[in-house]
Amino acid sequence: MTDSRHALIIANDRYADQGLKKLRAPAQDATALAGVLHDARIGDFDVEVVRNASADAMRRHIQRFFNDRRRDDTLLLHFSCHGLKSESGELYFAAGDTEPRMLDATAIPAQFVRGCMSRTKAGRTVLFLDCCYGGAFSRGSSSVRASGDVNVLESFPSDKPAGGRGWAVITASDSMEYAFEGDQLAENSAPRPSVFTHAVVQGLGTGEADLDADGEVSLDDLYDYVYEHVREQNPNQTPKKTVEMRGEFHLAHSRRGRIKIAAVPTPASLRAALDSDNVLTRQGAVLELDNRVRDESLPVAEGARQTLVEVAGNDIRQIAALAHRALREIHLAPSPDHLDFGLVPRGSPSREKSVTMQGPPLARHCVAQPAQPWLRVEPAADGLRVHVDTAAEGRLSGEITLKGVADEAVVHVEAVVGPAHESAPPAGPDVEAPPHPPRQRVPGQGAHDQETAIIEPPPSRPPAREPATPPPSAHKPPSSPPSARKPPTSPPPRTRTTPARAQPRPLAPALAGAALALAVTAVITLVMAVQAAAVAVAERSDEGVDGNIEDNLRAHGAFTPLIVSLITAALALVVGVLARHELGERRELYSERAAGGTRTSTSVAKGLAIPVLILAVLMGIAYLVGSGYW
């Protein structure tokens, strides 16, 4: 988000007047809401919290909050307090020193807040009202009247904002209801958030309010989520809203959203083939979809993927298995999926490690979202670059979530930040990571651009290269506990790299080549057997009743090439299956070109070996059945 975003949270739970009960939710509300709004990965707001202030102090904070704003600013004001109604039906917000009989002097009129909203130059303003009306007052108090309507939204008429600016008001309950705290109105018990604010915090914090899973929580998304959540928890409370705003307003980011691509529909001819009654026709259509899902054009590939998902769920087992196999090829496959930065001196320039995305373009197109604030990710040509913030000492362990069109993957990251120019801190289990340092916010720049990397696959992918050395985690003996590993004070110079464990050799192309060679051999030997059998049959016909077909076949050597063709054809099929299995199990070892060559070779070998095997078996059966008559 590139706009400047500011939030003011007003929470009052202690009142000088005995007629106002103490509320137990506002303090908890302020802490929880400030956390999600300030989080750079969610709201990215600059947050100010005002608790139990006097009416005069509240007015100053509110007016200062709305003054001196620019058109690209977004403002969010949240009230968590008592709402009071005057004799004339006007709405007031209670301050710490509010006297119910002197509302004009000691409380905040709703019209004062409405006036500040109307005069501000900010582009968008959102007001959340989580207030208890009437029923939260002590019944025995004669200083507060608990009867009559409190129509909250009427205090904020939906006229057109001055200068075309937009605003919205969302309130926890309507005129005839109370804003509940848990399952009661306001009783003395352990602090917990109110139903309304709890729903706001949960929807933003977990991303569940992102109802359309587009990676952003709009104002409408949040209201719909809060409405359903509040009504489910308490049918007696109904949130309300009024909006006068142009365009869609994204209140926060969501960690739930995946990349969405406008898919190119599958061609009608291919759809017709998928609807055919002929199994072979449908099989051929799935193979064509397999080719399309690897297309460099992401919309074409996404259209094919969506169709394959339909086929995998609706067709017979044989066709569905082909569709599932094609879909497995576009799963996210980061390499490596574990990064260990080792010992990093505090305050040193951030080291960089790379993660390569494997597979076709659709599998490499994803969003990378770090789960910890000390992780930094940047998109690269073939994946992403990862940095670690070295501002604070301690053992760091975190994750980067990769979200694509079809699935998710996780890259685990570890590092130890030690004292500058000194030895590493103890590696025992008692070491605790200190709190994360305050986030340095760049004015005018949002967190989405800083901490979320969208990986766009290049137009064409060069063959993947194996790393010269394995990742640092490969050097660690698997049986050594963390406490037994002590990083050195300074890395020793290395003149050569001797890996502790050799990289697995890519066998799939070799196996595929062997399968193709065996299949070609089977074809050649079958042709030799057919030629020899034809000559033997011709001679047997010339010999009349004195001849024997077995003698003629042996004389021309027909049996040997026939047996060889049977064996080599069967071996070609077996070796081809092994090649495909090797490719699927160790996909990260192969470039797209090597993987494509392997699949092509095994397909050709299969296409040659199966007919040879069938013809050879038929020739053998023909000999066994007819030799007695010849």
* Residue at 132: amino acid letter: C
Calculate the alpha carbon distances from 562 to 14, 121, 185, 258, 574 in Å: 97, 90, 90, 56, 19
Both structure tokens of 146 = 């608990």
**And the tokens for 395?**
């053992």
Mean residue pLDDT of the chain comes to 77
CB distance 130 to 172 below 8 Å? yes
Per-residue pLDDT, 18:
78
Q: How confident is the model at residue 208 (pLDDT cuts 50, 70, 90)?
A: confident
pLDDT of residue 432: 40
In a domain, 549, yes or no: yes
Q: By C-alpha distance, which of 439, 443, 437 is closest to 451? A: 439
pLDDT of residue 484: 41
Contact 319, 282 (CB under 8 A): yes
Specify the length of the chain in residues: 630
Mean per-residue pLDDT, 115-129: 90
Choose the weakest-confidence range: 24-28, 56-60, 158-162: 158-162
Is 60 exceeded by the pLDDT of residue 258?
no
Tell me the CATH number at 412: 2.60.40.10
Q: Is the pLDDT of residue 87 over 80?
A: no
Element (H, E) at 127: strand 124-133
pLDDT-based confidence at 393, cuts 50/70/90? confident
Residues 474 and 513 in one domain: no
Q: Is residue 536 part of a domain?
A: yes
Identify the residue with better confidence: 495 or 377: 377
Q: How far apart are CA 484 and CA 495, in angstroms?
A: 26
pLDDT at 630: 65
| pLDDT value of residue 524 | 94
Residue 233, domain CATH: 3.40.50.1460
- Among 193, 222, 253, the domain boundary falls at 253
Count of domains for the chain: 4
Query: Is 146 a residue whose pLDDT tops 80?
Result: no
What percent of the residues of the chain are helix, what percent strand, and what percent coil, each to the nearest 5? Answer: 40, 20, 40
Higher pLDDT, 598 or 592: 598
Question: In the prediction, which pLDDT does 434 show?
Answer: 41
Q: Give the closest residue to 6 by CA, choosing from 57, 43, 51, 60.
A: 43
Q: Is position 260 within any domain? A: no
Residue 246 has pLDDT above 90, yes or no: no
Residues 189 and 310 in one domain: no
> Is the distance from CB of 137 to CB of 21 less than 8 angstroms?
yes
Residue 76 clears pLDDT 90, i.e. is over it: yes
Pairwise CA distance, residues 476 & 460, whole Å = 36
> Helix or strand or coil: residue 47?
strand
Residue with tokens 């291919």: 270
CA atoms of 218 and 224, how far apart (whole Å): 10
Boundary of a domain, candidates 328, 361, 379: 328
How high is the pLDDT of residue 444?
37
pLDDT digits (tens, 9 = 90+) for 399-428: 888 888 878 889 999 989 888 754 444 444
Distance of CA 45 to the CA centre of its chain: 23
Per-residue model confidence as pLDDT tens digits over 606-629: 899 999 989 988 888 887 777 766
Region 560-568: mean pLDDT is 91
CA 73 from centre of chain: 29
Say how far apart CA 534 and CA 438 lie, in whole Å: 88
Q: CA-based Rg of the chain, rounded to a whole angstrom?
A: 36
Between 234-243, 449-458, 509-518, 566-575, the lowest mean confidence (pLDDT) is in 449-458
- 303 is in which domain, residue-wise? 268-328
Distance CA 137, CA 364 (A): 59
Residue 97 pLDDT exceeds 60: yes
Q: Say yes or no: 397 and 285 in one domain.
A: no
Q: In 245-337, at which residue ranges do the beta strands (DSSP E only) sit?
A: 250-253, 334-335
Do 371 and 320 lie in one domain? The reply is: no
User: Does one domain contain both 474 and 392?
Assistant: yes
Is 262:306 a contact under the CB 8 Å cutoff? no
Same domain, 478 and 521: no
pLDDT value at position 165?
A: 59
Residues 478 and 555 in one domain: no
494-505: pLDDT as tens digits: 444 444 444 556
Please indicate, yes or no, whether residues 180 and 308 belong to a single structural domain of this protein: no
Q: Has this prediction a pTM greater than 0.75?
A: no
Q: What band does 136 get if pLDDT is binned at 50, 70 and 90? A: very low
pLDDT above 60: residue 476 = no
Least confident of 33-37, 340-344, 473-477: 473-477
- Spatial contact of 620 and 562, defined as CB atoms under 8 Å apart: yes
pLDDT of residue 485: 44
- Tally Cβ neighbours within 10 Å of residue 322: 21
- Confirm if 285 and 296 have CB atoms less than 8 A apart: no
Residues 322 and 365 in one domain: no
Query: String of b and e for 535-555 (b: at least 16 CB within 10 Å)?
Result: ebbebbeeeeeeeebeebbee
Structure confidence by residue, pLDDT tens digits, 100-109: 888 889 999 9
CA 549 to chain centre: 71
pLDDT value of residue 369:
78
Which of 62-66, 205-209, 497-501 has the highest average model confidence (pLDDT)? 62-66
Long-range pairs for 591-596: beta carbons < 8 A, 24 or more residues apart:
591/461, 591/462, 591/463, 591/464, 592/359, 592/360, 592/461, 592/463, 592/464, 593/463, 594/463, 594/506, 594/508, 594/509, 595/508
Dist. CA 401–CA 410, nearest whole Å: 5
Any domain includes 436: no
Overall average pLDDT of the 204-230 stretch: 85
Element (H, E) at 513: helix 508-543
pLDDT band, very low/low/confident/very high, at 517 (cuts 50, 70, 90): very high
Given a cut of 60, whether residue 550 has pLDDT beyond it is yes
Residue 255: closest CA among 441, 73, 40: 40
pLDDT given at position 5: 92
- 521 pLDDT band, cuts 50/70/90, is very high
SS3 at position 538:
helix
User: pLDDT tens, 273-320?
Assistant: 898 999 889 988 999 999 998 988 888 998 999 999 999 888 898 899
Q: What is the C-alpha separation between 73 and 1, in angstroms, rounded? A: 11
Q: Quote the pLDDT of residue 496.
A: 44
CA pair distance 148, 155, nearest whole angstrom: 15
Q: Judge if 301 and 176 occupy the same domain.
A: no
- Model confidence at 247, in pLDDT bands (50, 70, 90)? confident
501 in a structural domain: no
Distance separating alpha carbons of residues 173 and 233, to the nearest angstrom: 13
Q: Where are the beta strands (DSSP E) in 336-457?
A: 338-345, 352-357, 366-370, 375-380, 383-388, 394-403, 408-418, 453-455
95 pLDDT higher than 70: yes
Q: How far is residue 11's CA from residue 134's CA, in Å, rounded to a whole number?
A: 18
User: Number of C-alpha atoms within 13 angstroms, CB side, residue 185?
Assistant: 14
In a domain, 599, yes or no: yes
State the pLDDT at residue 585.
75
CA distance 201 to 28: 11
Do residues 396 and 315 both lie within one domain? no
Q: Are residues 70 and 120 in the same domain?
A: yes
